[in-house]
Structure 1
């Protein structure tokens, strides 16, 4: 029985599963999966011989169902939003491969961005999102979908669209298509670790009213001295979507 509350939509196309697995070098790497579900990805990950592998499954019924699976010891009955991945891998670097539960995919991504900001412990992420969210994550400046999630994500990762998967490749069939994105850790983060909360605050203020020009927003965040010193009045007549990612990262450094 599939449980809507856990955002369960299981990938049933074996060819697509192979394509997803090939996006990451798994052998001798630490690999994390969220929501192993029907084990479509799980089995193929294990075949590639990772150094350490854990699959987090919140649905106890699925954990029980898979208890006779020969690698059942790798499936942990835990909530992915509450576990400490950094400690799970003994403070070693790891990668994530997952068909994310739709209902918490954005929350998980933000959680992992915060982990990367603090520890720089994630090497790569191969993640499947609902198409609309994926498009917001990779959206660029001067587009309607460009916003907080793309700015926050790009502070730590290079993000590439790899696969677009139609909804009929899942069971039960979801209402939307999905997209697989590859996140590759930057050699150097775009912001200092102590500035992540500033970036969250700044982007929230700017994009809460994304159609309005930036004058009031800049005056709300910065002092008049800061505005004058850094010539922030040059951004007054623009809208939030007209400012580059680097501009927002710059804002965190002067706040």
Structure 2
């Protein structure tokens, strides 16, 4: 990849401390600036970081993408450079980078970042990943930074649940896991908007929503099925009403117009819902 003037940057570092600024400084000392995606991923939430990264990189220039959500920092987990047709990804090999790599055309090469003597064990964003991203951005080939590794060995998280039932046509319901809740309270599911259409859920219709146990829930939590409209956007319903729609990332989602859908529905990432026409 040719030299570029900046890298994209995503972390769970927050904004209350100097962690982000320190990484910016490492980049700037090498003549590279950062395009911040977000630094407000919940601490250690690799799944959320991976989803946000994957849903953002498609809109960014071909460049280096630096991502650090790294609860395993200082352990045997390796740092990697991932090469794709749409750019380079730098960060921990813990599943964070794999979805974005798929969006950028798939992994063509991967390199394990070489160990650097004397590097502190707890801030690899500053001491390992930012320096590597800066070198890549200024034209250093990935192979210079470490040993080639088999792309098939990169860590990938289990895919979030999204399936139509029954598996054979005609499908009558969609079962999907909650992937994330944004700051507006909108609830994004792991199912693409196309799967809504596959089960007959289109704007103007109505959906029955049933709740199941998720990763962090016990079964039988008492939530009853709900019937809500299927719309195009928040304005498809009156203020305070729920709507099932396809969000800006092309994913099935719940929202409350002028309200907080996650609180209304009692949903958190990892929960599972089933939706069907009614």
State the TM-score, normalizing by the size of structure 2: 0.26
State the TM-score, normalizing by the size of structure 1: 0.27
Structure that is richer in helix per residue: 1
Structure that is richer in strand per residue: 2
